Structure 1
Amino acid sequence: MDKLKSKSIYRSSCEKYYLPQRNQREVRAALKKDVAPVSKMIKVLSDPVRLRIMLALSVQELCVCVLVEITDYRYSALSYHLKLLKKMGFIDSRREGTFLLYRLTDSGRVGLEMITRLSKIAKEKKPG
């Protein structure tokens, strides 16, 4: 990113392309924005197992034992994915007797909606 400050856009290969100084500043500012937190969230959402867990939790809150039965994933694998989803704030849990029930949070619903929209775009996109 430091190279962006020192380079003049007009000394590059696109000398004939006019980009006003104000726009140059705005582009540089946009490139300096911290996208790491969003990138981490998207990475967590990009895993098919975690997406399936979130889809299941969008129906109703569930305990791990039910998720193990209906998904055929190992308990340890599900626990790992649930931990990541909870750390990112996509799911939450509450204790009911001896059961720990997981549910989708508002952030999880937003993330799932984003993925659902992207899924529709992917289905509409023609191969090639």
Structure 2
Amino acid sequence: MKIEPNAECPEPYILPDKVAMLVHETMQEDVGPLVSLFKVLSDPVRIHILRALEVSELCVCVLAEITDYKHSALSYHLKLLKDANMVESKRERNFQTYYLTDFGRSLLHTIERSISDRFQKEL
């Protein structure tokens, strides 16, 4: 595939047909699940919840007491995290206790490690 010169590409740009086809196929893929995951991760409250659950399993009442977030707001955020398979819950007597799933823990560690590595390289 040859891209003719224009304002964005001042010289002819040659792209092998196989690469052009793979790029086209990639651009057609359904990225909805990935977009949904990034949306869940885009809120600081949810990141704080994930980091707190990294320390220990917690019930909403403890999160509300420690963070000053309203119980209803925390429940909303926990539901989104649960729907994203990052958090799970279990009933313990009168309490609903939340904890990170293996996926949630792995994803959080991967993101934190990547960010840490990036900052180390910039120093």
Alignment TM class, shorter chain as reference: 0.7 to 0.9
* Other structure's SS at 1:73 match: coil
More RCO (CA 8 Å, sep 6+): 1
CA drift of 1:93 comes to: 0.3
Aligned twin of 2:91: 95
> Quick check: 2:59–2:98 contact (8 Å CA) kept in 1?
yes
TM-score (norm: length of structure 2): 0.85
The residue correspondences of 1:1-128 to structure 2 (distance < 5 A) are 9-11=2-4, 13=6, 14=9, 16-120=12-116, 123=119
Q: CA RMSD in A?
A: 1.9
Write the distance in 2 (CA, Å) between the matches of 1:118 and 1:43.
Answer: 19
Give the counterpart letter for 1:10 in structure 2: I
1:10, distance to aligned residue in structure 2 (A): 3.3
- Quote the Cα distance in structure 2 between the aligned partners of 1:111 and 1:117: 10
Distance 1:78 1:113 in 2: 22
Name the CA distance, whole Å, in 2 between partners of 1:87 and 1:9.
45
Question: TM-score, structure 1 length as denominator?
Answer: 0.82
Contact residue 45 and residue 111 of structure 1 kept, 8 A: no
Give, in angstroms, the shift of residue 125 of structure 1.
8.0
Measure the CA separation in 1 of the matches of 2:4 and 2:77: 49
Percent of aligned pairs sharing the same letter: 49
Deviation at 1:115, TM superposition (A): 2.9
Rounded to whole Å, the distance in 2 between the matches of 1:69 and 1:116 is 26
Tell me, what secondary structure is at the counterpart of 1:103? strand
Give 1:107 shift. Answer: 1.2
- 8 Å CA contact 2:86, 2:101 repeated in 1: yes
How big is the shift at 1:110?
2.1
How many Å separate the matches in 1 of 2:114 and 2:51?
15
Structure 1: segments with no counterpart, 5+ residues = 1-7
Q: Give the CA deviation at 1:119.
A: 3.5
Q: Secondary structure at the residue paired with 2:14? A: coil
What is the CA deviation profile of residues 55-81 of structure 1, one whole-angstrom value per residue up to 9, with x for unaligned ones? Answer: 000111000110001101010110110
